[in-house]
Structure 1
Amino acid sequence: MTFEMTAEGQHPVAIITGGSRGLGRSTVLSLAEQGVSTIFTYHSNREEAEKVVALANASGSQAVALQLDTSAPAGFVSFKAQVQEALAGLGVSRFDYLVNNAGTGLHKTIETTTEDELDAVYNIHFKGVFLLTQALLPLMNDGGRIVNVSSGLTRFSFAGSAAYAAMKGAVEVLTRYLARELGERGIAANTVAPGAIATDFSGGMVRDNPEVNAMVSGNTALGRAGEPEDIGPMIAALLQPANRWVNGQRIEVSGGMLL
């Protein structure tokens, strides 16, 4: 299934944060395979971002990589200008889909989490999502869609995840309010909450630590840890016109973890 062309006869355009690796990379490539042009951000690894651009272009879609620190809202004004320039290069003036995916992990108990660490998690996982979405909304087409990436940790709990999970919980509430307030523009907003995924997130904890991987697999109905390719195609599917009536929802994609 491919996405419909816009009313102007153009391919739809998605903006994805954290698109150079992991879930974001999988989302960029899944959308590219379905004819969606992408503007995605990377934090520091330009080389990996260029690899993703090349793979997306090879599937017949256009992709643009822009550097952005999503925890630093002071840079959002200049980023918006870069997005406008990138959109012009894609032959459009507005975009259709926003996927707020960028993030980092924090695995510390409540007692040992410092104020600076709490602020850092807040800045990237909530404040950055709120203010970047706010900055980009004037460039989004009516009838567009927003997906905010959350975590299975807002439903189940593991010691050492309180700060991270709390911010993801805030994003889930924000998503419902986005759906409510943007409904008059026909913009749908949903949350995708992955379970434990084998990526380099949190230093590759699930991917590279056999004990953690075994624990996750043993607590998942489908018997394994997730892979990026379990998530990216699902996000792409949620953006499809066929799912236009899904709005304000939290959709967990965890293989049935801790049922």
Structure 2
Amino acid sequence: MTRKIALITGASRGLGKNTAQHLAARGIDVIGTYHSKADQAQALAEQLQQAGGRAAMLQLDVADSSSFAGFAARLSETLEQHFGRRQFDYLVNNAGIGLNVPFSETSEAQFDQLLNIQLKGPFFLTQQMLPLLADGGRIVNISTGLTRFALPGYAAYAAMKGAMEVLTRYQAKELGARGIRVNILAPGAIETDFGGGVVRDNAQVNDFIAGNTALGRVGLPDDIGAAVALLLEQGNGWITGQRLEVSGGMFL
């Protein structure tokens, strides 16, 4: 049986790295992208290869949509040379940044940065990837629990993710004819370096979140990587156009 291939943006660290590890453990080969941390990306590729899988890392700035055609060409070359394939099977739009600024103080520059990375980037990257994504493939977009509950300082960030949730439904509708399933996963607060590592490193913030979560703790990267893998499993082929929140029951 031909091994499946997943393309994961922002795979050099955090949730992208964890997702790559979970998929590799399930026998899925990985092509990851990184923005600037080439050493971390290469270390991950070597780790996945030592575990018996195949992996490659490609540089990509998701904020620069003008680079996507060139990235598609490099991806096509990588698929043929390293994997003996012309298409891949799974796309995980994970790359992103965090921003905590009050609505009244958010600048146009900050808004535009979030727009380019969190919405415009995945919109046009996915569009560019369609010829390389196999029929019957799957797309997992990443949202946030902040589209359901509101915390001060995340207006711009959550607005972009809310748009991604709407986009996910349209992608599922329009790509369904090719058998492509599209879903969006919304993590709660997770202990990573995202947003400066505030959830992981600030004990007061960590305790506040844990105290408002049904399962009594803050989320861990393994909680999210495993959930992405779950959405990509073959037995879940009747799920599309859905938002899955993975927050441990935060703010129920």
Confirm or deny a common fold (TM above 0.5).
yes
The answer to whether residue 100 in structure 2 is matched with residue 107 in structure 1 is: yes
Task: Tell me, in whole angstroms, the C-alpha distance in 2 between the residues paired with 1:36 and 1:107.
Answer: 35
Residue in 1 that maps onto 2:24: 32
- SS at structure 2 position matched to 1:248: coil
Shift of 1:148: 0.1
Residue in 2 that maps onto 1:57: 49
Shift of 1:51: 1.5
Shift of 1:86: 1.1
Number of equivalences: 251
Task: Tell me, in whole angstroms, the C-alpha distance in 2 between the residues paired with 1:90 and 1:110.
Answer: 46
Residue in 1 that maps onto 2:158: 165
Q: 2:147 aligns with which of 140, 154, 158?
A: 154
Q: 1:44 aligns with which of 36, 39, 44?
A: 36
* TM-score normalized with structure 1 length: 0.96
Q: 1:230 aligns with which of 223, 246, 250?
A: 223
- Note the alpha carbon deviations across 1:158-199, whole angstroms, 9 max, x for none: 000000000000000000000000010000000000000000
Residue in 2 that maps onto 1:220: 213
User: Is the CA contact 1:33–1:60 (under 8 Å) kept in the aligned structure 2?
Assistant: no
Shift of 1:55: 1.5
Identity across the alignment (%): 55
Q: Which runs of 4+ in 1 moved over 2 A?
A: none
Task: Tell me, in whole angstroms, the C-alpha distance in 1 between the residues paired with 2:83 and 2:245.
Answer: 33
Unpaired segments of 5 or more residues in structure 2?
Answer: none
Shift of 1:225: 0.7
Shift of 1:60: 1.0
Q: 1:142 aligns with which of 131, 135, 139?
A: 135
- Alignment of structure 1 residues 1-259 onto 2, 5 Å: 5=1, 10-88=2-80, 89-259=82-252
- SS at structure 2 position matched to 1:14: strand
- SS at structure 2 position matched to 1:111: helix
- SS at structure 1 position matched to 2:86: coil
Shift of 1:111: 0.6
- Note the alpha carbon deviations across 1:61-108, whole angstroms, 9 max, x for none: 111111111011011111001100111121100010000000001101
Shift of 1:237: 1.3
* TM-score normalized with structure 2 length: 0.98
Task: Tell me, in whole angstroms, the C-alpha distance in 2 between the residues paired with 1:16 and 1:139.
Answer: 14
User: Is the CA contact 1:94–1:140 (under 8 Å) kept in the aligned structure 2?
Assistant: yes
Shift of 1:22: 0.8
- SS at structure 1 position matched to 2:184: strand
